[in-house]
Structure 1
Amino acid sequence: MSGGIAGILPLILMFVIFYFLLIRPQQKRQKATAAMQAAIGKGDAIVTIGGLHGTVDSINEENNTITLKTADGSRLVFDRNAIRESKANA
């Protein structure tokens, strides 16, 4: 009986290690990203996942999109989930 438990113990230990080294930090990053995306407001400087830098011109909560104004004055519409970084307008 103790041989069966001793054989399963390394598998349980590996799962615990993977949880604390891989799964849990990823969940924290996802929560932080979701909170940042929800807190975006007009005038915030942002960077999209594709690397485009711009300023939030307007936010459409109905379809979850953001209109960005770029340095050359053009306006582009992005999904809110496409935002990687935000620097709040102070």
Structure 2
Amino acid sequence: MLISNAYAQAAGAAADPTGGLMGMLPILLMFIVLWFVMIRPQMKKAKEQQKMVSELAKGDEVITQGGIAGRIAKVGENYLSLEVAEGKDGPVVITVQKNAVGALLPKGTLKNL
């Protein structure tokens, strides 16, 4: 026979004093960096958005995530009515979800548009 059989060595496995912790360290470091760079700021921004949506009131000027600017005419539990334009029969009012509000505009912004 020209090729001899190869056998695994078992003596090297018992010599690791750290117990494999050093192999897990890079993965733990990557998770910690991911938490502080991506997840934590996203949670903070979502909390600010939820606070802004809960404080909406009649007369506030807002812009939706779709880009529609208007003044709040009526606030419901999940929906609100936006006055988006003046028509010949009165204001044009649309209904949108509260979560669709992207930003609260300063007072008087709609007059400048």
* Same fold, TM-score > 0.5, yes or no: yes
Equivalence for 1:87: 105
Residues 41 and 89 of structure 1: CA distance in aligned 2, closer, same or farther (over 3 Å): farther
Equivalence for 1:75: 93
Equivalence for 1:17: 33
Matches within 5 A, 1:1-90: 1-2=17-18, 4-61=20-77, 64-72=78-86, 73-87=91-105, 89=107
CA RMSD of aligned residues (A): 1.6
Query: Structure 2: any 5+ residue segments left out of the alignment?
Result: 1-16, 109-113
What is the deviation of 1:2? 1.3
Distance in 2 between the 1:2 and 1:10 partners? Answer: 15
More helix by share: 1
CA contact (8 A) 1:44 1:55 kept: yes
Q: RCO (CA 8 Å, sep 6+): is it higher in 1 or 2?
A: 1
Distance in 1 between the 2:61 and 2:93 partners? Answer: 14
Deviations 1:11-66 (A, max 9, x none): 000000000000000000000000000000000000001000000000112xx100
Distance in 2 between the 1:87 and 1:69 partners? Answer: 14
Distance in 1 between the 2:64 and 2:28 partners? Answer: 39
Q: How high is the TM-score relative to the length of structure 2?
A: 0.73
Query: Structure 1: any 5+ residue segments left out of the alignment?
Result: none
Percent of residue pairs bearing the same amino acid type: 33
- What is the aligned residue count? 88
Distance in 2 between the 1:13 and 1:3 partners? Answer: 18
